[in-house]
């Protein structure tokens, strides 16, 4: 039975990934922080912190996995400004340690370990080209992006060293499991609360920020495909379509049948970020050509599934 090790298993992507690997018959081992709970009863959950590098190394050498997915991260840019040192350890250093552990598993057990790093479009910072691809210069502008950039570079280093190491450069990807501090979920939860009469307004920051928003399970699919591809590489995973926060708001209210949405939106300058990437759109031609990957849901479908999810959560 193939064995997989997943960090960040209780997050949005981790939960979809674990479900998929279990369906495929994998023996799934998940790393979760104390109190996060198991992603599923069928998973072997190991309580621990990915930044506890000695312990994780011993665990990996013992488990001897065939696939390692590193999804654990301080996942918000805003939090990375509040805790830049923690972000460096979790998003950067821990990835380097996991790569070295994967290398040591290969040396000790004599089989390939396929390693996928969940990287981020934030490594490109404020890019001067749009859309971005795998050749776009890495110039992060926040602690989150800088730590992810270090991990991305270490993937390249360990690929040279003989590990099937993949960096999946993921653009924003959403689902009903997205935590509510992300703007998409904040909007869909807000629309559902307005429909229930619990509130009248949603307070947001920059409505003109543009993101390439995809469907999280599709991004998990890209990571699995890259893990199992004949050759390891970096892949941009994106839809290629940029939409503004305002577009997201419009689509969410449209789906809910509310036409006069302007009265429900307030802008609070305090929510506008000091340094914000205002346009991130990815060119995923390489993933489409080499991995046979393609997004399965349109922007409108992602929005409607999220509104539906929040309407069902009363
Ligand atoms: P990020 O791209 O990983 O930082 O994902 P977010 O969903 O947190 O933010 C996406 C964009 O939405 C950023 O450019 C934010 O500045 C913008 N935005 C506008 N209003 C809000 C808000 O109220 N909350 C959040 N989180 N982002 C907002």
**Whole-angstrom Cα distance, residue 245 to residue 251?**
10
Ligand 1 pocket residue status of 271, Cβ below 6 Å: yes
Q: Which residues pair with 168 in a beta bridge?
A: 118, 235
Average pLDDT on 19-48 reads: 90
Q: Is 120 a catalytic residue?
A: yes
| pLDDT bucket at 121, cuts 50 / 70 / 90 | very high
Structure confidence at residue 312 as a pLDDT band (50, 70, 90): very high
Can you give the pLDDT at residue 313?
Answer: 84
So where are the chain's domains? 3-173+214-237, 180-211+242-280+297-312
pLDDT digits (tens, 9 = 90+) for 68-113: 999 999 988 889 999 999 999 999 999 999 999 999 999 999 999 9
In short, whether 183's Cβ falls inside 6 Å of ligand 1 is: yes
Domain 3-173+214-237 has CATH 3.40.50.720: yes
In this prediction, what percent of the chain has a pLDDT beyond 70?
98
Closest approach atom of ligand 1 to CA 273: 16
C-alpha dihedral over 18, 19, 21, 23, to 10 degrees? 160
| 155 prior amide bond cis, ω within 30 | no
Q: How confident is the model at residue 39 (pLDDT cuts 50, 70, 90)?
A: low
Q: What is the pTM of this model?
A: 0.95
CA of residue 77 to ligand 1 center, whole Å: 9
Which residue has a Cα nearest atom 13 of ligand 1?
209
Torsion angles phi and psi, residue 147, rounded to 5: -70, -40
The CATH number that domain 180-211+242-280+297-312 falls under is 3.90.25.10
C-beta neighbour count of 109 within 10 angstroms = 13
- Distance from Cα 179 to the centre of ligand 1, integer Å: 12
User: Which among 206, 280, 278, 276 is positioned nearest to 239, based on CA atoms?
Assistant: 280
For the chain, the average pLDDT equals: 95
Segment 149-169 mean pLDDT: 98
User: What pLDDT band is residue 41 in, cutting at 50, 70 and 90?
Assistant: confident
DSSP state of 121: G
Q: What is the pLDDT of residues 259-275, one digit of tens each?
A: 889 999 999 999 988 77
Q: What percent of the chain has pLDDT over 90?
A: 91
């Amino acid at each position: 039975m193939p064995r997989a090790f997943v960090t960040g298993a209780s997050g949005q992507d981790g939960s979809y990934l674990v479900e998929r690997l279990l369906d495929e018959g994998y023996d799934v081992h998940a790393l979760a922080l104390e109190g996060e709970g198991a992603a599923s009863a069928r998973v072997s959950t190991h309580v621990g912190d990915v930044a506890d590098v000695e312990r994780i190394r011993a665990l990996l050498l013992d488990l001897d996995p065939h696939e390692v997915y590193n999804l654990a991260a301080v996942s918000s840019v805003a939090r990375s400004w509040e805790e830049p040192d923690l972000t460096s350890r979790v998003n950067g250093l821990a990835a380097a340690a996991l790569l070295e552990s994967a290398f040591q598993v290969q040396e000790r057990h004599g089989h390939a370990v396929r390693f996928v790093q969940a990287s981020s479009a934030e490594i490109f910072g404020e890019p001067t080209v749009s859309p971005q691809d795998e050749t776009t210069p890495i110039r992060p502008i926040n602690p989150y992006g800088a730590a992810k950039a270090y991990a991305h570079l270490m993937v390249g280093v360990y690929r040279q060293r003989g590990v099937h190491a993949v960096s999946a450069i993921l653009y924003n990807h959403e689902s009903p499991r997205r935590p509510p501090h992300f703007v998409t979920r904040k909007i869909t939860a807000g629309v559902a609360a307005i429909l229930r009469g619990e509130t009248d307004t949603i307070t947001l920051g920059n409505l003109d920020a543009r993101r390439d928003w995809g469907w999280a399970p599709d991004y998990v699919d890209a990571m699995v495909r890259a893990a199992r591809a004949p050759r390891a590489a970096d892949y941009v995973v994106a839809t290629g379509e940029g939409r503004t926060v305002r577009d997201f708001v419009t689509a969410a209210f449209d789906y809910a049948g509310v036409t006069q949405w302007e009265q429900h939106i307030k802008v609070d300058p305090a929510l506008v970020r000091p340094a914000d990437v205002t346009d991130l759109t990815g060119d995923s031609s390489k993933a489409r050509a080499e991995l046979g990957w393609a997004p399965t849901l349109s922007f409108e479908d992602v929005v409607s599934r999220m509104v539906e999810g929040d309407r069902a959560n009363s």
